[in-house]
Amino acid sequence: MIDTAPLLLESRHEVGVHLVRINRPAKRNALNLALRQALAATFERLADEAEVRCVVITGEGSCFVGGADVREMQGLGPYEVMERDIPRYWRPILRFPKPLIAAVNGPALGGGMELALQADIILASEAATFGQPEIRLGLMPGAGGTQQLVRALGRHRAMRMLFTGEAIDARTAHESGLVSEIVAADQLLDRALGLGRQIAAMPRVAVNLIKEVALAGLDLPLDAALSLERKAHMLLYASPDLREGLAAFIEKRAARFE
């Protein structure tokens, strides 16, 4: 079992909110192989823990993630990169079935931006920046940046970032729809955890189905996506939480979801 403690700091909060801090501040939280393995192992574990309802991820120090650890890239050829199979470490995050909130406390660059793009909701401090600077190394994103950035920002803004390596600030990211909220730096984590608690208090099965259907529908024709939504909607009529939610609404009281 991978020891994640040196690389990730974790804490459990009330109502099922789990905080994960990336803990390489002296290296701007750069993604080396050990950190990627630790992230994958952590998200695989959290996916299986029923008491975890929502996860918040942030960076320790003044940076979210400054990118990949460039020193590990030197001297690698295509065969060595293929053997490392870095995408396998992203899959547990990309396929994480529960709500994931990124609290971006500083630069999110390269692999750091790709990590933020895996989140369902991005909150940013005023010091946050977002960019894919791989082109400046003679490289391109390799963990979803070209695909997810275009989906998140639209072709024209995304292509400018990808072609030039230019970063955008939190305000621009918010105006473009990438960031859902800008929060003062000293309030960012509290706001992210508060939003996590709000989501964790919702009926778990409905929340997880919403995520599954919404993300699956992105890559489906509209008719197929609507069919998937209707079937998931019907499934929830078997949920005790629906009966409780309807009763609470009629009785004008707060719902007590199981």
Residues assigned a catalytic role:
68, 111, 114, 134
Dihedral of the CA atoms 38, 39, 40, 46 (nearest 10)? 110
The secondary structure of 22-47 as a DSSP string is E--GGGTT-B-HHHHHHHHHHHHHHH
Structure-token pair, residue 178: 């990438």
Nearest to 65 by CA among 159, 176, 143, 174: 143
Exposure string over 172-188, b if 16+ CB within 10 A, otherwise e = ebbeeebbeebbeeeeb
- In angstroms, rounded to a whole number, what is the distance separating the alpha carbons of residues 65 and 72? 16
Q: Are 64 and 108 in contact (CB under 8 A)?
A: yes
